[in-house]
Chains A and B, each alone.
Chain A
Amino acid sequence: MGRYVVRRLLQMVPVFIGTTFLIFVMVYAVGDPVNAMFGDRAPDPATAAQLRAEFNLDKPLWQQYGLYMGKIFSGDFGNAFNGQPVTELMATAFPLTIRLTLVAVVIEIIVGLVLGVLTGLRRGRPVDSGVLMLTLVVISVPTFVTGTVFQYLLGVRWGLIAPAVSPAAPLGQLLLPGLVLALVSLAYVTRLTRTSIAENSRADYVRTAVAKGLPRRRVTVRHLLRNSLIPVVTFLGTDVGTLMAGALVTERIFNIHGVGFQLWQGIVRQNSPTVVGFVTVLVIVFLLANLLVDLLYAVLDPRIRYV
């Protein structure tokens, strides 16, 4: 187990280098950040050259990457072009997004599992077909549509909730954005759980549990659901990373100044240190989430061993 974790952590190194280098190349290949700083005006060549030297932009790309990574590991993610350190942006953005993501994941787990179990046990009945249809609709409608529609109806038209989230972002205000963010994944969790439950509900050990005279709820939760969770957990693990990055649209709609919002700002303003810095952290989050999922397997299924 310990050796397995160490090996997995070591495997992350090349993945980490590969992904961050790609992002670095893409961001720096797209445009000239120094030009971008000056907006519409052409910069004074001398100033531009000085800035290039300051940001190491006059060096070859691989060297730039090396220098950048070196700085990152000493905790210096560079400054955004407005002079604010990127780490400062992260310190405000990540807690917000993590909170939003947590709200979304909790909604996904509770609603998705309940719907999945319900439909999985009633395959082919009206409840099942209804929910299945609904998940299809949810999956096909993009988040910016559901987000704005909910915001308009609940927030503006009926005034049930605040249409935008305040900077403090209390939990109550994050419920709707969390739901919007969760919606598509929620549909997937429902479908995954449904399939898994339906498949396992005919398993011999479920029949044994019934033959033992256990109450229905116990058969479903302890025996059936417990065995059906593995694919769902896999999905949820990778989804945490996707949600954090994918909060971009939701955060824009509800004016939450989280990771997605900052990333978007960084891209629009060609603010390279912000983009690369945030993405780097997201890569790490994603990799760690995946490792966590792999370790969770052993908890869910004792037949899985790590060597």
Chain B
Amino acid sequence: MSLLEVRDLHVEFHTRDGVAKAVNGVDCGVEAGETLAVLGESGSGKSVTAQAIMGILDTPPGRITGGEIVFQGRDLLTLPGQERRRIRGAKMAMIFQDALSALNPVLSVGYQLAEMFRVHQGASRKEARAKAVELMERVRIPAARQRVGDYPHQFSGGMRQRIMIAMALALEPDLIIADEPTTALDVTVQAQVMELLADLQREFNMGLILITHDLGVVADVADRIAVMYAGRIVETAPVKELYKAPAHPYTKGLLDSIPRLDQKGGQLDVIRGMPPNLQQIPPGCAYNPRCPMARAVCRRDEPPLYEVSALRASACHFWEEMCDAR
């Protein structure tokens, strides 16, 4: 049994200008100890998928219109609110992008960490405080005991993100969703934070969903990659295979747009055009207006997720052509 199975998830946003289809039939899964990287441009539906899994989608305007989210054998979407709440934070936790705004500015970090133990485990104030210090030490914050009463704004960006990670790890959850955990950090600090996250994941054998648009980060830590476009997963594959031979033109476009050390000079290949408006996703394959390989069938039929190999899938009519081209 997988730790998490998402099946045919659909999410819509009802706005004044119409209905935006943010997630359109996502299937994915994570095993214990596995790292799944979800890759995609802004607006590809990766964060919305994560929020739907966590149960923190803003409803309204958001609405889950179909699908299942099976976590440890239970469909979260049919669970009563109270039970769902008990899972949040305890069994699955989330690390947000910008720790400065994601941490409460008027409560000390110690309080915010201790809150996890007090609410979920009914720990006493003193116990919870001691555990908060322990957590801060575990994520390698120097002088944790002295700093436990400090407020988020008194920490540096990297330290703040460590506190965010500590908060997510507090109750040793089975699944962690990290939504662009390093985007707001300096490059040097990014590496440290990713390393810390990977270490802790191994230590606790947690499933990790890493949402990012940074291909460099992915290559280092992920086991498997899911590439999202316009609310669908267009390709999934083990990391190495995906980098070596992408089976979807969008993935190829993403990889080609990375500047490389071994190919100096020349023009950088970029993906032309803009991601589609989610209120008017083009018929057929959503990627067809930007795709160099697009043909008549692409404008007519939405490609299913073809099985490329046991571990790979691609939502392109011409995946075989892609693979043969190598």
Q: Which of these binds chain A: B20-28, B100-108, B285-293, B318-326?
A: B100-108
Bits for A200-211, please: 1 = Cβ < 8 Å to B, else 0: 001111011111
A223 to B93, CA, bound (A): 18
Nearest opposing residue in chain B for A299, CB measure = B106
Q: Does B86 contact A (CB under 8 A)?
A: yes
Q: State which of B88, B107, B116 has its C-beta within 8 Å of the C-beta of A226.
A: B107
In terms of DSSP, what is the predominant structure of the interface of chain A? helix
Nearest neighbor of B116 in chain A, beta-carbon distance: A212
Task: List B contacts of A218 (CB < 8 A).
Answer: 119
What CA separation (Å) do A227 and B105 show in the bound complex?
Answer: 8
Report A116 CB to chain B, min CB distance, Å: 18
Q: Is the CB of B104 within 8 A of A223?
A: yes
Query: Among the listed B102, B105, B115, which residue makes an inter-chain contact with A301, where contact means beta carbons less than 8 Å apart?
Result: B105
Complex Cα distance, B89 from A226, in Å, reads: 22
Question: Chain A residue with minimal CB distance to B120?
Answer: A213
Q: How far is the CB of A216 from chain B (nearest CB, A)?
A: 8
Report A144-178 residues with CB < 8 Å from chain B CB: none
Q: Which residue of B lies closest to A230 (CB)?
A: B106
Q: Is the CB of A205 within 8 A of B120?
A: no
Give CA–CA (A205, B106) in the complex, Å: 10
**Which residues of the other chain, B, contact A202 by a CB distance below 8 angstroms?**
58
A211 to B94, Cβ gap below 8 A?
yes
List residues of chain B with CB within 8 A of the CB of A226.
Answer: 104, 106-107
Q: Taking the complex as formed, is B90 at the interface, i.e. its CB lies under 8 A from any CB of chain A? A: yes
> B167 on the interface (CB 8 Å rule)?
yes
CB A283 to nearest CB in B, in angstroms, measures 32
Inter-chain contacts of B98 with A (CB < 8 A): 204
What are 22 pairs between A and B in contact, CB < 8 Å?
A203-B101, A204-B98, A204-B101, A205-B105, A208-B94, A211-B56, A211-B88, A211-B96, A212-B119, A213-B86, A213-B119, A214-B89, A214-B115, A214-B119, A215-B85, A223-B107, A226-B104, A301-B105, A301-B106, A302-B106, A303-B151, A303-B153
Q: Which 7 A-B pairs have the closest CB atoms?
A: A213-B89, A213-B88, A204-B101, A205-B104, A212-B89, A302-B151, A204-B102
